Amino acid sequence: MGCGNRIEAVFNALIHCNWADNVPVQIRIEEDAMFVSNCSMLPFGWTAETLLGTHTSKPYNPDIARVFYRAGYIESWGRGIQKICDACKNLGVDEPEYIVHGEDIMVKFKALQSAKALNLKASKPQGDALNDALGDKLMMLLKNNPYLTQKEMVEILSVSRATVQRLIKKLDDERKLERVGGKRYGYWVIHE
C-alpha cells in the first residue's frame, strides 16, 4: 500500500480527533494490516458507509484543517477519504475498511502480500542464506516500489548502507536487478 493513502488517513485522524478526550491518534501496525484510529464522533445520522460516499466535510477541528490546507497537506475539505480510496485503487489493493465504535473511528489497511515483512529472526539463517533472504526481501520491495532510494532501503531493511550496496551489487552481477537512469530520477528494473 502506498505511503500517500496512509498519510492522508493520519491527517484525517488529526483533523477530526476530539482532543478534549486527551486520547492521542493511535497507529497500530500488524503483520497483515495497519490501523489508524482516533476519538471522534460521526455527525448525527452518519455511518461508515456515509464516509465512503460523497459527503460534506465537517471537521471536528476546523482550525487544524485550515492549517493543514494552508500548509498544502490537504487540497480541500471533504476529499480525504476519496483520495485514500483512489490511491488504493491505483495501487490495485483493497480499499480500507472504516470501523466506527461509538466515539472511536478506525481505518484498517490490509497489507500487500509483497509488503509483509520476512521474519528473518525466526529461522536465524546464516551467511549466504541471510544474504539470500535479504536479497529476496529487497527484490520484493523494489517490485512494489521501483523508485526506492538506497537510504529508504537501509531504513526499511534495518541494515547498513554497505549491506544494501553489497546486495545491489550481488543482484546486479546475477543480472536480477538493473538501475535505469541516474541517482535522482532513476528507478530499478527487476529481471526474473
3-16 and 80-91 helices cross at what angle (nearest 10)?
160
Number of domains in the chain: 2
Q: Give me the long-range contacts of 26-30 (CB less than 8 A, separation at least 24).
A: none
CATH number at residue 23: 3.30.565.60
- In this predicted structure, what is the pLDDT of residue 114? 58
Q: How far apart are CA 88 and CA 148, in angstroms?
A: 19
**pLDDT tens-digit map of 135-163:** 888 888 888 888 888 888 888 888 888 88
- Report whether 11 contacts 74 (CB < 8 A): yes
Q: Do 29 and 75 fall within a single domain?
A: yes
Evaluate if residue 189 carries a pLDDT over 60.
yes
Which of 4-13, 33-42, 117-126 is modeled with the greatest confidence?
Answer: 33-42
Greater pLDDT, 118 or 151: 151
Q: How far is Cα 87 from Cα 4, in angstroms, rounded to an integer?
A: 7
pLDDT tens string 59-108: 778 898 888 888 887 776 667 777 778 777 777 778 888 888 878 888 88
pLDDT confidence tier of residue 122, bands split at 50, 70 and 90: very low
Residue with cell 491527517: 11
Burial class (CB in 10 A: 0-12, 13-18, 19+), 133: middle
Q: Is 169 found in the same domain as 91? A: no
- For residue 160, the enclosing domain spans 117-190
